[in-house]
Amino acid sequence: MLRPTISSGMASRITSVALLPVLATAYISSSMTPSTFGARRAFHSISRPSALRTASPSVLPLSQRRPIARGAAALRSAYTITEEGKFPSEEYRVFFKEDGKTISPWHDVPTWADKKAGIVNAIIEITKDTRPKMEVATKEESNPIKQDMKKGKLRDYPLDIFWNYGMIPKTWENPKAEHPEMKAFGDDDPVDIVEIGSKPISRGTICQIKAVGTLAMIDEGELDWKVIGVSTEDPKCKDINSVADMEKAFPGQIDAIREWFRNYKSDGKFEGGKWVDITEGQNSFGLGEECKDMAYTAEVIEETSEQYAQLMSGKVDADGLWLKK
């Protein structure tokens, strides 16, 4: 599939990012209203940093939200991101480059940053406390980040997502493979990761996240793993080595993540920090709704990495996915 045509009037802005831990500046959605901002505060009364309670609700373009690259010498290979098109729009894309050459965030970034320590590389698609449903475009050349479309319109979540959200590169959930425990097929996407830490991380950042737990979400009959972890840049990360540690560091947030993903497609409303008036449209969870431990999480990542390898080898039909040749 060819890259979308970008008109001459559209801006192109370049921002430095890195395959390294980052410190990102705050980014709050322009779609926020006073009522949703209040609901979000109520929801996060469980554990909400004061810096975010006072953050400005304005949107900063990526070119003004420059993450700071830091880390070990072995990971000094810097990437850049290039925005094409006006945000928000159907044409808007975030492309990834290395040494001036366009790369794919799905195919060209390693899955693991430190496998022994359980640390993955992650592509941040959606910054916490924002609403536009951004995603790596798996069917477009070079797999840029774009805003999802639904029924011909740009798709927003019905409320802000309260965590940084992205994908783990070189993973794939095979829609033709039934999981033996869940009895559900994959959702045809890379594995999702929820970063539970205290700071917003800018869209397009490639960062390192300690993958601590996993929820087995069933979305419209498809298995959609939700790995939960914390950025290695978060000061609490060094003390988090289990689901219990994560619950202690961020009390109530695992349950909050489960309920957010259970209900965001439902006909319910989010009021006063909780979901109400739900009659239909909820997602479900397998494995007794348990957040599985680090060992199980690593197995999920390895399993979906193997499915990705089968996809890239041609053993599984790509069905329109853009695969780097």
Marked catalytic residue, from 79, 157, 165, 308: 157
Query: Nearest to residue 249, comparing CAs of 233, 232, 230?
Result: 230
Quick count: other Cβ atoms within 10 Å of Cβ 254? Answer: 20
Chain-centroid distance of CA 76 in Å reads 23
Neighbour count for residue 320 (Cβ, 10 Å):
9
Non-local (6+) Cβ contacts of 245 within 8 A are: 212, 239
Asked whether the beta carbons of 193 and 204 are under 8 A apart, the reply is: no
Preceding peptide of 180 cis, ω within 30°:
no
C-alpha distances (whole Å) from 256 to each of 36, 45, 222 are 16, 11, 21
Over its C-alpha atoms, the chain yields an Rg (Å, rounded) of: 19
Nearest Cα residue to 191 out of 304, 28, 27, 273 = 304
Query: Is 157 in the active site?
Result: yes
DSSP line for 69-85:
E---GGG--EEEEEEES
Name which of 295, 30, 6 is nearest 160 in CA terms: 30
Residue 323: which residues within 8 A CB-CB, separation 6 or more? Answer: 107, 311, 312
Neighbours of 76 (CB within 10 A): 12
**Cα gap 113→65, rounded to integer Å:** 24
Q: The dihedral of CA 36, 59, 31, 148: what is its sign? A: negative
Active site residues: 157
